[in-house]
Each structure stands twice: as structure tokens, then as C-alpha cells.
Amino acid sequence: WEFRGQGGIGAAPATDGNFIYAGSNDGYVYALDAATGQDVWQFQTHSPIEVAPVVAGDTVYVGSTGTLYALDKLTGAPRWQFETDVSAAPTVAGDRLYAPGQDGHLVAIDVQTGQERWRFATGGALASSPVVAGNTVYVGSRDRYLYAIDTADGLQRWRYRTGNWVASTPAIAGDTLFFGSNDEFVYALNTATGDEKWRFKTGNDVFASPTVADDLVIVGSYDGTLYALEVESGRERWQLNTGKPIKSSALVVDQVVYFGSGDGDLYAVTAQSGRILDRFTTGSQIYAELTRSGQTLFVVNGKGQLWAVESAASSPDQQDIPASAVDSQPVLPENPNFQFTPGAWYAAGDGNIVRFHGQIVDEAGRAVDGFSVQLDNGSRSLLSKPSGPNRWQPETDAGQWEIVLDDPTQNTGWWWLTIGHYDCPLAIEFNAQCQQFVPLSESVKVQVVYPGETTINADWICHTDCQAGVKP
């Protein structure tokens, strides 16, 4: 489902599993049914809500310009309010809420009474959310420091200076704290002393918060790249470039990494290799944090739209259709296979939806350049072509279309496949250029490498259908 409200959603939502709590640009807090997106209650503040709410126990905490509100999560009734200009999402730990302020103060507030316990002053606005581990709260500031503060009395334990703003919310694994800075580095520090363990240079500012997944630290940069770094050494394991800035943090579920990009897409990639499993197009940049409840992801884009998107159940293994299952002309010496991700490739006839996710590979698993694909389903053929005006429609005759690289001197190339509605009949095309083209499915990235020429004919089975332009 999708929800926007009157003024558009201004920040990432929070969830307790049953409800979604989201703040809007017109100052409203919305409680939505997580399953349906239906509005349950609203609460009006007096200014835009630009930081994510936090839900803890039976209370939702929401910051707007000048005021922090504590609301009953079932009814939206206010319990208390505290005058502070919250600059990032607050954090609740135990009986305290830690609110980062535009004035450079981190304020500890009693969650029951709304009374201030202590405040700590930095030299600049607090651009990151606090993180609590044990008896220490960690927070970054625009004064270039990452601070470690005692939760009991608000006294500084240590601070670490970077080369620019620290807008990245820290992540902690064991005795190591990971965060990024606008000096383009990702840092790993000892949580007790603040001593540096390693640093990694990206190509631009690091607003995103790192995410730890087993032995990897996964973090995006404003250079448009998602990096996977080894926890112990900071050595790069893999990277994936989206071409647009990445400001939101990655979310890892069952070895699948989900993250948003400035290109407007929500990506699902494998944690260990960065291979794209899936992507969902929202139509505008994704800079807000992702939120998860069960198998559903909640994402906010630059148009103020809140989307509920079903996540992949797990990271599936690749499987091959043996060469005997396809008709290849000419036959490659390597005996090509069709490599696919189970549950992620579908085809249908009679105008039903189609989804492609796979590649032609040889025995060594290397994808093959210069192949054509004929997809048959009964009397219909589903044709794919990387460019040009050709697109499949229910009336199209059976045929074959070759996938080739733009530059034959290169040994790799990428194509985007989008399924959608075009002038009423269903259409398939790469890189849709028509304004009337309405996507019905997320785009899929298809890689073609390893020069060669072949023709592959494969029979596909109908798994899903699409009626009246509604995406299943």
C-alpha cells in the first residue's frame, strides 16, 4: 500500500508491528494500520515533522520544530511535551529519552514525566541520532566530533575528531563503534577509549549510518556507492554503485541487504556479494531510513509518499537450468545454462505480467554476451530487447531479440528490464522512454559479459497475472 497524507510524509516512520507512526510536512502525526495503511488516528503539531518518530512501550515520541511530544500510541492523546528543537530522531533506552538538538545540546529526558535529567553541550547542531550501549550514549555533531557521554550524569567520557560534520548515526558491534563523516571516511573506534581501529575512504560525504551484518559493515556514501567492509580490517569486500547519492542506512534481513538511493529505487542485494536480487521503483529519491515489520519494509521517498513493500523472504541460491533444457544455436562449447534466482523470475501469456531476473552463463558461471531470448507461453511469445522501439504486446508474433553490448570492446554491460502498461496493452521494454509508460513492476538489472554469440530458446511458465493494470 501507499500513503501520503495531506502534506506528504517528511521522515522515516516508526512501527510497533501493528501500527505505523509517521510525521508529515503539514505538522500531523499519523497512526496507520501496518497491514492496510488505513488511518487510525491523527495528532496535529504546529510545525513540519522532519525527523523520525520513536515508539517505545505504549508511547510514541515525535519531534517538530521547537517541541518534542509524547503521545499515547493507541489514541494519539498527548502525555507531555518538552520544549526543544529536535534535529534528528531521538533514542529511548530504559527510563530515558535522549533528544539531539539543533542548538547542539543532547538532552536526557525522563520518559514518564517529560522532565529533564541532564544536558550536554557540543559545538554544533547534532545531526545524528544517539546510540546507547551500556552506560554510554554516543552521538555525532556538526562540530566534527563523535562524543561518548555517561548516561548517568551527562559527563563526557571521550570524543573523537573527524575532518567534517558527523551526521551518521553510529552502529556498535562488540567493542567497536562504526560511523561515517562528511570528510568522506567511515571510521571504526574502540567503544571504551575512542581509539581508532581503522578508517575507509569513500568518494564523498557519508551521511548514512553503517549496518553490521556478520563480518561485514555495510554503508552507503553520497558518491552513490554501497560499500561492504570487513569488520576487523575495514578492507573492502564489494561495492555497488547506483549512480545517485545514498543517504539512508541499509537494512539487513536474512542475508539480504535493503537500501534506498537517490535514484528513487529500493534495492535488495545479497549481503555477501552485493548481487542485485530485486528493486522497487518509487519515483523519487529515497533518503529517509528504512523501517521493517515482519516481511514488510516501509520506505519514504522525496515526494512524501510512504510505501509498504513486501521484502524477499531470504537470499535464495542461484540455480541453473541444464543445457539440455534449452535450444541453443549455435551450441557453445561451454554448454550454456540459464541461471536464475528462484522465486524471482516469472512469465505469462495473454497480456499477463512478466518479470525477468537471470542471465545466460557457461559452465564456469560466466554470463554470455550476444544471446537472444525467445520466451514461449502457449501461443504467445514474450520478447525482450535492450533498446529501440520494439516492445512485446499480446498481439505480437513469436520472435527472437538479441541482447548485445553497446561497445563490443568492453566485456561487461548492464540492461534494465521494466514491466508495465503502455497505451492500455501490457508492454515490456528496457529503459522506457514513453511518458505514457506506467511501470507495473520494479526494474531488474541484467548483466551481460563474456563476449560470444548464441541464440537461446527457453520455455517459460505462467506464475502470476495482472488484471486491469493492478500489480499483483
Which residues lie closer than 8 Å to 82 by C-beta, 6 or more apart? 67, 68, 99, 107, 109, 114, 116
The Cα–Cα gap between 334 and 365 comes to 10
Q: Which residue in this structure is represented by grid cell 537471470?
A: 358
Amino acid (one-letter) located at 249: S
CB 97 within 8 A of CB 57: no
The Cα–Cα gap between 256 and 325 comes to 30
Number of alpha carbons in the 13 Å side-chain half-sphere of residue 9? 27
Cis peptide before 330 (omega within 30 of 0): yes
Name the β-bridge partners of 14.
Answer: 21
Name the β-bridge partners of 471.
Answer: none
The Cα–Cα gap between 434 and 415 comes to 17
Amino acid (one-letter) located at 94: G
Which residues lie closer than 8 Å to 373 by C-beta, 6 or more apart? 383, 384, 400, 401, 403, 456, 457, 458
Q: What is the pLDDT of residues 191-245, one digit of tens each?
A: 999 999 999 999 999 999 999 999 999 999 999 999 999 999 999 999 999 999 9
The Cα–Cα gap between 335 and 99 comes to 61
User: How far is residue 82 from each of residues 28, 229, 315, measured CA to CA in Å?
Assistant: 17, 40, 44
Q: Which residue in this structure is represented by grid cell 505514457?
A: 436
For position 179, what pLDDT does the model report?
98
The Cα–Cα gap between 330 and 345 comes to 25
For position 1, what pLDDT does the model report?
87
**From the DSSP assignment, how many helices (H) and strands (E) are in the chain?**
0, 44
The reported pTM is 0.68
CB 307 within 8 A of CB 371: no
| CA angle in degrees (0–180, nearest 5) for 191-101-104 | 75
For position 366, what pLDDT does the model report?
53
Domains of the chain in start order, with CATH, are 2-310 (2.130.10.10), 319-459 (no CATH)
For position 345, what pLDDT does the model report?
30
For position 83, what pLDDT does the model report?
95
User: How far is residue 192 from each of residues 39, 107, 136, 147, measured CA to CA in Å?
Assistant: 45, 22, 9, 12
Name the β-bridge partners of 376.
Answer: 381, 459
For position 240, what pLDDT does the model report?
92
For position 422, what pLDDT does the model report?
36
Task: Give every residue of the chain whose pLDDT is below 70, as ranges.
Answer: 312-472
Among 169, 17, 181, 24, which residue's Cα sits nearest to residue 91?
169
Q: Is 323 helix (H, G, I), strand (E, B) or coil?
A: helix
For position 312, what pLDDT does the model report?
57
